[in-house]
Every structure is written in C-alpha cells, then in structure tokens.
Amino acid sequence: MSKINIAIDGPAAAGKSTIAKLVAQHFNMIYIDTGAMYRAITLYYIEQETEDFSQLVQNIDLRIVLQNGQRVILNDVDVSERIRENDVTEKVSHVASQEPVRTFLVEEQQKLAQEKNVVMDGRDVGTTVLPDAELKVYMIASVEERALRRLKDNELRGIESDLESLKIDIERRDQFDMNREISPLVKAEDAISIDTTGLSIDEVTNEIINLAKVKMV
C-alpha cells in the first residue's frame, strides 16, 4: 500500500478530530490537529497581551509532540487541556486570521506532513497546507447537532456552557473563519463532502476508511 496524506476540513464541531483520530488509528497513520496549534498561539496571545503578531510568533516556544496522540507544549508546559477553555475559544478566530500566525503554522504543519502518512484536520488543510493531499474530505453537520455535540464534550471536560451560547459561538466562528482574507474556510474543489448530521462516528469513520483504501492501492 502506498503512503498518502488525508486532509479533513470543515466548520466547528463537525466531528473532524474525532473521526480523523480513528482513521489515523485504523491505518497506523499520524493524526495532526491544526486547530490545537492555533489555540496554543491564542493562549500565548492572551498571556502576552500584545497585538504584535510577528513578535508573538518569533518569541513563542511551541512544541507538538506526536507520540500517543498529540500533545501541545507551550513554554515547557503541556497546555493540551487548557486550550479548550472558553477564553481561548472566544479569541482563537481573531488570532487565526493574522498573517504572521498563519505563515508560521502552515510551515510547521507542512514539515510535519512531508513524509506523508498523516491525517490532518483543520480549516485550510486541503486548500493551503496540503493542496496535494491524496484524499480531501469536507465535513459538515447542522449547527443544532454541532452545538449539542460540543455541549456533551464540555460536560465531560468539566467546562461550563449552555446550548444557546454554544450555537452562537459556533455560528460566529464559522462566519469569521469563512470570511477572513487569508485561507478562509472553504471546501477545496477536489474535496468530498460528508454531512455527518444523524450519522454515527463509526459510519463516518468507515466511509472515510473506504475512500482512503482506494487511494492507497
């Protein structure tokens, strides 16, 4: 079987990371969550209180450790859980729209994928980070279902939230991500759309595994 890269993009809480992880496990591929990297820079932005994004990415000490799932290390501290909290979620789209931030992270992400064999999820993986990925998926789901899924996630993580605010946050972030100037969230022309509304995790995972098998021969 030949090595391939798989790009999974789509709006917030569509199921990208859950399914990307399972697909990666199935094929013994490496899973890379690009959203976590934008979240880590956002945490640093909150700590540094600066709008000078060139300086911010020059000074940041960010490490992505890819053994046993992805861990995000910021200034020697594992912030993998901290970056899911509400203050980061609120500001991440603003930070992710800044040119120095995108240039810095896209380069890092391309390095991680240069040997192939990665499943990478985000907003611009199929369009900008890995335009030559052998398989591209654009994952969507209704906003109601996405908000419900995120509510359950937050309950499990002990993060306080309510359905209506989650819906508002998801819609606000989608609009911002779709309308920003640099690498907006958009389906790559050659991506396959999957609407996961009403589908189980297994159903979506199997669909992508079957699509990938065709590309690996």
With CB under 6 A as the contact rule, the residue among 135, 149, 188, 208 that binds ligand CDP is 149
Angle between helices 34-48 and 86-96 (to 10 degrees): 100
Taking the C-alpha atoms of residue 26 and residue 192, their distance in angstroms, rounded to an integer, is 20
Interaction of residue 35 with ligand CDP, rule CB under 6 A: yes
- Considering only residues 43 to 62 of the shown chain, the ones binding ligand CDP according to CB under 6 A are none
Would you state the structure tokens that stand for residue 211, as one six-digit string? 């699509």
Interaction of residue 12 with ligand CDP, rule CB under 6 A: yes
Would you state the structure tokens that stand for residue 122, as one six-digit string? 């985000």
Which residue's CB is nearer to ligand CDP, number 145 or number 216?
A: 145
Interaction of residue 207 with ligand CDP, rule CB under 6 A: no
Contact call for residues 14 and 141 (beta carbons, < 8 A): yes
Tokens 């820079």 -> residue = 41
Which residue's CB is nearer to ligand CDP, number 150 or number 212?
A: 150
Contact call for residues 185 and 140 (beta carbons, < 8 A): no
Specify the 3-state DSSP secondary structure of 180: coil
With CB under 6 A as the contact rule, the residue among 31, 56, 122, 154 that binds ligand CDP is 122
- Cα–Cα nearest to 9, from 198, 155, 208, 163: 208
23-31, 34-42, 49-57, 73-81 -> range binding ligand CDP (CB under 6 A) = 34-42
With CB under 6 A as the contact rule, the residue among 29, 62, 123, 133 that binds ligand CDP is 123
24-32, 68-76, 90-98, 159-167 -> range binding ligand CDP (CB under 6 A) = 90-98
Residue 14 annotated as part of some ligand binding site: yes
- What ranges make up the beta strands (E) of 43-161? 62-65, 71-74, 77-78, 118-122, 135-140
Residues that bind ligand CDP (CB under 6 A): 12-18, 34-35, 38-39, 92-93, 96, 121-125, 149, 152-153, 173, 177, 196, 199-201, 204
> Which residue ranges make up the annotated binding site for ATP?
10-18
